[in-house]
Copies of this chain bind each other. A is one copy, B any other.
Amino acid sequence: MNFNPVEILGLIAAVFTTSAFLPQVYKTWRSRSAKNLSLTMYLVFFTGVMMWMVYGFLIDSLAVILANIVTGFLTLILIYFKIRYKD
């Protein structure tokens, strides 16, 4: 893993795209409603995120690895909410 400017840009991008899920997780948790959220979207998305994580390891990119581990975790929470708040 190297820490050149390019990798730092990737890490900053990672912070944005992963933290972007936080308002959605918070909003869904607060409203106890996931009606507008598409379960299909989050299942397909989760599968892709896992593949990106493997891709990150293969190209030795810490940014891609970290981004997808965190995004995967947040996506799992939204999938849990979607199933739990069956409305």
Taking CB atoms, residues of chain B closer than 8 Å to A20 are 40-42, 44-45, 48
Beta-carbon contact of A40 and B23 below 8 Å = yes
Chain multiplicity (copies): 2
A14-53 CB mask vs B (1 if < 8 Å, else 0) is: 1111111111101110010111111011101101110110
Indicate which residue in B22, B40, B52 contacts A13 across the interface (CB closer than 8 Å).
B52
Query: Any chain B CB within 8 A of the CB of A12?
Result: yes
Beta-carbon contact of B52 and A17 below 8 Å = yes
A79 to chain B, nearest CB (A): 12
Beta-carbon contact of A17 and B55 below 8 Å = no
Query: Any chain B CB within 8 A of the CB of A76?
Result: no
